Structures are given as structure tokens and as C-alpha cells.
Structure 1
Amino acid sequence: MSEENDNGAPMNNEKDNLVSEEQEVTQETTGNKNEKQDDSRNEILENMLKAVLDKQKNLVDELRSVKSELQLIRDDLKPKSVIAAVSNETDDEDETDSESENESATMTTTGKYFVLKHDFKNVSSFKNLEKIYSEKEEHFGVPWRILIQRNTEKEHFGIFLSCAAEMDDQKMSFDVVFETKIMSNSTRKWSKKTSGDFQNSIPKNEMGPELIEWAVLEKDYLVDDQLTAEIHVRIKKTAGIYKDNLRSFDETMEEFSDVVLVVNEEKFYVSKLYLAAHSPYFKALFLGNFNDSKKSEIKLTGIDDDDFQKYLEVLYGESAIDEFTAEGILMVADMYDTPLVIRKCEEFLLEKSKKSLKKNLDLSTRYNLEGLKEQCLDKIKSVADIRSVIPGDIRELDPSIMSELLKKSLALHDPPQ
């Protein structure tokens, strides 16, 4: 028995060893299988994450591309700033007051430039000498509108620029040049160019080109008895609209200045370093390697001397911004890239201005005033508000504003439950 037990013990040990080895092999196999499954899961998860990241990257790239395209469109729509410091001697005064039919008139679009546009309906039903006006639009602190009038006796039709300011109570005058256009669905266009003065001494504050024959208008330019009229206006000189100057920049300041800037024959004695510190434009002009840098007198173009006066006043710390001056000052500040003055103009428009929602929205996009744009968009609460800010030509609407208005329109028509 003892021998059998002794002989059996090694066999049992061998069996135990075999079982143990099989268990180890099984555990190892199971472990390898689990590791492979984990590796497979990790690989799938990594691929899924990679796919998500790739999609996000593509989406970001697309959004950046769209943003770049919108910025290019916005920059293209924005009025171009004056680049040259010295003006050409030729001006609109050398151009003829009117031009023949379908002849294109070249007109400077810098400075105090704006466009009025209106669709007049049921034109053939207008009574003899009845005055039909478009809605008033404020530009540079002054209300303007289009006037049309039919003369059934002489079979003529007139289109006029109307200044709706109360000139009887103020010593106002506006030296303007403007081009009147009639648009149609065909390739034919009618345009006339006119220049003149709106003055308080003249009771009639309406000005227009030669009349167009009714038969020609009816045949070539009326579409479903509707007339689309445009007037492109540039204000060359204003007087009597701004308050008295708050600061002098005339020859009395000569000892404190080292350069004279000339705007419309008016001389402004200023400091090169002070202007250069606030404006990259003037920094390049005064301190750069340009022919004008060494001159003691430099002529600036494309701006009004009254606007430049108020711009300098704001730059020198005066409170010169009001309903009348805000747009002109903002135009000059944008032209000469002066953040301090731009910020002060935006603060006025945000906190004190009574301008219309449409006007403020237009200024915000024209001069990239993000704070003012957000305020305007926040004020749009209804479909009527959306309609009130849409220009006559939808193509004139800034792309970023168009997308925001679309979102608001969809939200109004399909409010959240």
C-alpha cells in the first residue's frame, strides 16, 4: 500500500500540474482575447473620435471660409476711404449739369454721399401737378426725400431732390451735386446730373433736372404702372447746420502747431505728433517716407471742412457730437482710422441719439460699430421692426445683418413651444 501510494502520488502531481497548466493556458487565452477585444474597442473608439474631430475641423474650416467671404463682401460694400492726401484740382464743378439719356455720369462717392431710392406705384393715376413724396430719410443730420410730379397738360414728368429741413428758421445751405436715375427691367436707363444750392433764402427747397416726356417714361420705364427712382447725392458744402465752434484751429494756434491741414480752402493748424498718436493714417502721412511728410502745409480731400473741424474738436476733448454732427464726424474718423473719435461717436449713438432704428443699424454696419449693431438687433421684436430696417434694395443689406434678420423672422413665425 505504501508503495502504491508512493507511486500514485507522482501521477496525481502530474495531473495537478497538467490541470494547472491548462488553467494557465485558458486564463492566458482568455486574457489575450480580452486584450484583443479591448484593443478593438479602443481602435473603434479612436476611429469614431477621429471622425468626429475631422468633421468638426471641416465645419470650422467651412465657417472660417464663410466668415472670410462675408468680410470680403462687407469690405467691398463699405465706402472706400480717401487715400490720397493731396487733391486733384478737377472736381464735380467741371462736369456738366445734365447729361443725355443713357449716358453714364461719373460721380465721386466719397465724402458726404448717400442714395435715395423709392418705388412709386400707380403712376399713371397721378393728378396734374400733384406732388408725390417718398418717405423722409435722414442723412448727415438732415431729412431728404424724392419728389415726383406729372404735368398732364404738357405731357412731362419730373423727378426732384427735396430737402425736408426747416430752412425758414435756420440759416442753412447745402451745396450739392446729384444724379437722378430711372431704372427699368430692360437694359435702358435714364439719368441726369444736376448741381446747385439749397438755401434758406429760397422758399422752394426742391431741385431737379430736365423733365422727361411722359410718352417715353410710360413706354420704356414704367413696369406694371410702377416707377423705380434713385437719386445719388453728394453734399459738397454745408452751412448753418452745426453749432458754433468749440475750439479754434486757425492762425491763432500757429505757435502750437507744426503743420497746416487744408480742407476746402480752410486752414487747420495742428500738431503732427498729436494726430499721429491717435491715427495710423496721420502717423503714416506725417512720419512715413512720403513726399507730403516734409511739407508744412498739406491739402486733404473728400471731406467737408465743418466735419473736419468737429472731428478735431472731439479729438481734442470737446463735446461736439450731436444729432447733426455725429454722422459727419464718424465718417471722418473712419476715413482717418481714429479709434478714440469712433468710440465717442458710438457712445453717443448708443446712449443719447434719437435716430431711427434703420439709420443706426446702417451706421453700425457701415462703420463696424459692433455695440451699436447688437443694440439695434436687440430692439427688433416684430415683423414690422424687420420691415422698417430693410432698405429699398435688399442687396444693400449687410450679409451679417441679413442672416440675423432671417433668424429673427423664423423665430417670430415659428416661436419655441
Structure 2
Amino acid sequence: MGVRRTKEHLHFYLHCPKSMDTVNWTIETQRKHVLVSNRVENKVKKGKQIFNNKTPAWGCEKFIKWAEMEKDYLVDGRLTAEIHIKIKKTTGIYKDNLRSFDKTMEEFSDVVLVVNEEKFYVLKLYLAAHSPYFKALFLGNFNDSKKSEIKLTGIDADDFQNYLELLYGEHPIDEYTCEGLLLVADMLDTPLVIRKCEQFLLKESKKTLKKKLELSTRFCLEALKKKCLAEIKSIGDLQAVLPGNVQDLDKSIMGELLEKSISLHS
């Protein structure tokens, strides 16, 4: 974050300094720039921008007049500035791809799947063998079945890349990719990917007990849920897995947590 003077105005900007080897990376954000004052209302400007390797910084050229800033927002020579960021979507920043599904694979594919404008060249029968969703899409009596290019919605391109890598024998699962893989596998009804993610959470993941229990209920991971419940051995453990608002607790787990609570109190 930076602020600087440009003639008679204050320039207020956000810079993404992270060096990335990937050529095509993006970070889609919602931003709120704030100057804090104890004399007048805070000065606020909102915006939506996409950061990438060509445009790593965004800001407000004329956020506020310099004289107004000195009069209403400067306190003992100090300025309090904040930027509130919500990251909506990212692509191409987490890891190098383990396998290519781009145009170089065209001769080995028979369909193109488009996810957020990114094209994946794949084999229909291979995906159909692992996913009832793709079996119905490619082999069923649907309009899309005969198309050479099909658009998939509601899926992140990075998550789909990891999903395909896992299906094709690579090992893209880690602490950062696991939840996205589960989201895609759940949407596309792919038991193999779900099973491998559950094994990672059972044997390798360092996620908190609370997060593991939440994932187990969200994606019906029974083995993981059983292990999580077994690890709740005190009232403190029980309190640690509960959400801040108990109303947010997944109803499918309420009964088992109640039984656990009764056993710990007896």
C-alpha cells in the first residue's frame, strides 16, 4: 500500500509486489480505500480491479485534495490510511502445472472444455469413465454431447486444472488445493478425486480439527468425520470445533456432537 502527493492531490494505491514465474496470473479484487479521521467522516472510495503481471498496481489518482487531507485527516503529522481487500478469484498463481491440457494436447483430445475462458483439451471417454456427470454429458442424449467445445460454469480454472492433473495420475493435492479439488469433484461427481482428497486429509494434512470436521460434513467424508470425532477428547476440543455462531453448524453433525458433549460431561 502506498500514498503520495501528485500536485494538489493525494494518490492512494495498492501494489501487488509478489514475483511470479507464471506468465498468465490474475487476482480479481474488490477494494475499499479509507482515510480515517476523528474530526469528519472517513473518506472512502470503492473499486473492482484485476491485478496481473502487466498491471500489478491500482489506485486512486485524485483520492482527496491535499489541503483537505491536511485539514481534516492529518493528526500530529500522521495520516491513517487503510485498504480493505476481498479477493474474488485468482488464476495461475499457486503452482506450476504438473501436466498440460492446452492446445499442445489437441491431437490427443476429442473435446475442449472451457472454464472461465481457459480451454482444456481432454478425452471424453477417459473423463466419462471416472465421472457419471461427464458420462451423461458426453454419452447421453443432450445437445452438448455432440459439441467439440463445451463450456463449464461455476468452476475455477485453477481448481479444474488440479482436478484433471489428479485424474491423469499426477499428485496436485496440498493444503491449498485440497478444498478446491473437493469442490470440483463434488460438482462433477468424481469419487476417485474425493477419495484421494480424503486420504490426504486423513494422513498428511495439517489443517485444524475444526476445518477438517467442516470439510468432512460438507463433502460427506465419513472416514474423516469419524477420525475428527474420535479426536475430540475434552470440552476444550469440543468448543474449538464449534463455529462462532452455533446456528452455522451443519445439522448433519449436531446429533453426534451432542452425544460427544454428553459423554464428556458424564
Match of 1:289 in 2: 141
Any conservation in 2 of the 1:321–1:348 contact (CA below 8 Å)? yes
Q: Structure 1 residue aligned with 2:97, among 235, 238, 245?
A: 245
Match of 2:228 in 1: 376
Match of 1:174 in 2: 27
Any conservation in 1 of the 2:91–2:157 contact (CA below 8 Å)? no
Query: Per-residue displacement from partner, 1:248-295 (whole Å, max 9, x unpaired)?
Result: 111111111110001111110000001011101011111111111110
Any conservation in 2 of the 1:257–1:269 contact (CA below 8 Å)? yes
Q: Structure 1 residue aligned with 2:181, among 329, 335, 338?
A: 329
Match of 1:386 in 2: 238
Any conservation in 1 of the 2:51–2:58 contact (CA below 8 Å)? no
Match of 1:123 in 2: none
Q: Count the aligned residue pairs.
A: 207
How far, CA to CA, are the matches of 1:199 and 1:393 in structure 2? 37
How far, CA to CA, are the matches of 1:274 and 1:371 in structure 2? 28
Match of 1:358 in 2: 210
Letter of the 2:114 counterpart:
V
How far, CA to CA, are the matches of 1:173 and 1:297 in structure 2? 24
Match of 2:165 in 1: 313
SS of the aligned residue for 1:327 comes to helix
Q: Structure 1 residue aligned with 2:89, among 236, 240, 244?
A: 236
| Deviation (angstroms), 1:393 | 2.4
Letter of the 1:325 counterpart:
T
Query: Per-residue displacement from partner, 1:175-218 (whole Å, max 9, x unpaired)?
Result: 2469xxxxxxxxxxxxxx974457895699xxxxxxxxxxxxxx
Letter of the 2:147 counterpart:
K
1:27-46 equivalent positions in 2, closer than 5 A: none
Match of 2:129 in 1: 277
The structure with the largest helix share of the pair is 1
SS of the aligned residue for 1:269 comes to strand
Given the alignment of the two structures, is residue 260 of structure 1 paired with residue 112 of structure 2, yes or no?
yes
Letter of the 2:155 counterpart:
I
Letter of the 1:238 counterpart:
T
How far, CA to CA, are the matches of 1:170 and 1:384 in structure 2? 41
| Ranges in structure 2 where 5+ consecutive residues have no aligned partner | 1-15, 32-45, 60-85
- Report the identity percentage: 67
TM-score, normalised by the number of residues in structure 1? 0.46
Any conservation in 2 of the 1:174–1:239 contact (CA below 8 Å)? no
| Deviation (angstroms), 1:385 | 1.1
Letter of the 1:268 counterpart:
F
- With over 3 angstroms needed to count, the CA separation of the structure-2 counterparts of 1:199 and 1:255, relative to structure 1, is closer
The structure with the largest strand share of the pair is 2
How far, CA to CA, are the matches of 1:369 and 1:260 in structure 2? 31
Any conservation in 2 of the 1:177–1:236 contact (CA below 8 Å)? no
Letter of the 1:405 counterpart:
L
SS of the aligned residue for 1:260 comes to strand
Q: Which has the larger radius of gyration?
A: 1
Letter of the 1:360 counterpart:
K
Query: Per-residue displacement from partner, 1:20-67 (whole Å, max 9, x unpaired)?
Result: xxxxxxxxxxxxxxxxxxxxxxxxxxxxxxxxxxxxxxxxxxxxxxxx
| Ranges in structure 1 where 5+ consecutive residues have no aligned partner | 1-166, 179-192, 205-232
How far, CA to CA, are the matches of 2:246 and 2:255 in structure 1? 12
TM-score, normalised by the number of residues in structure 2? 0.70
Letter of the 1:236 counterpart:
K
